[in-house]
């Protein structure tokens, strides 16, 4: 349940960031609504998730989801670079978060 909330938190962050993009491109009301709802839900979900998941792991997963998903949206919808190097670095972000999760239980 906590992990699902953490994943939802990262996805809602992407909604908030997409709202910023819409706002900047002229869709002021829709963008502002997405921004407020997305970031509001994101903070609510991460707050719930951190009842069981440590700060370091929770924040790393949260930011990784937001970073990778936002970059993918940029590539798909806003013409951002789809270079193999960029995709490789996104893979490194994911691998780093998985590694952090794997070692988080060790002292």
Can you give the residue ranges of every domain in the chain? 2-103
pLDDT, tens only, 10-63: 999 999 999 999 999 888 999 999 999 999 999 999 999 999 999 988 999 999
pTM of the model: 0.85
**Confidence category of residue 82, pLDDT binned at 50, 70, 90:** very high
pLDDT at 52: 93
In 3D space, the residue among 77, 106, 98, 63 whose CA is nearest the CA of residue 18 turns out to be 77
**Confidence category of residue 105, pLDDT binned at 50, 70, 90:** low
pLDDT top residue among 48 and 77: 48
Using alpha carbons, list the distances in angstroms from residue 65 to 27, 71, 101: 25, 10, 14
For the chain, how many helices (H) and strands (E)? 4, 0
């Amino acid at each position: 349940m906590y992990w699902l909330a953490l994943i939802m938190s990262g996805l809602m962050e992407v909604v908030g960031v997409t709202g910023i993009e819409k706002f900047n491109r002229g869709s002021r009301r829709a963008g502002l609504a997405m921004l407020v709802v997305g970031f509001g839900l994101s903070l609510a979900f991460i707050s719930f998730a951190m009842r069981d998941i440590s700060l370091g792991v929770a924040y790393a997963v949260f930011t990784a989801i937001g970073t990778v998903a936002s970059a993918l949206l940029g590539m798909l919808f806003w013409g951002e670079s789809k270079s193999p190097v960029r995709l490789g670095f996104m893979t490194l972000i994911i691998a780093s978060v998985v590694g952090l999760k794997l070692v988080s239980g060790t002292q």
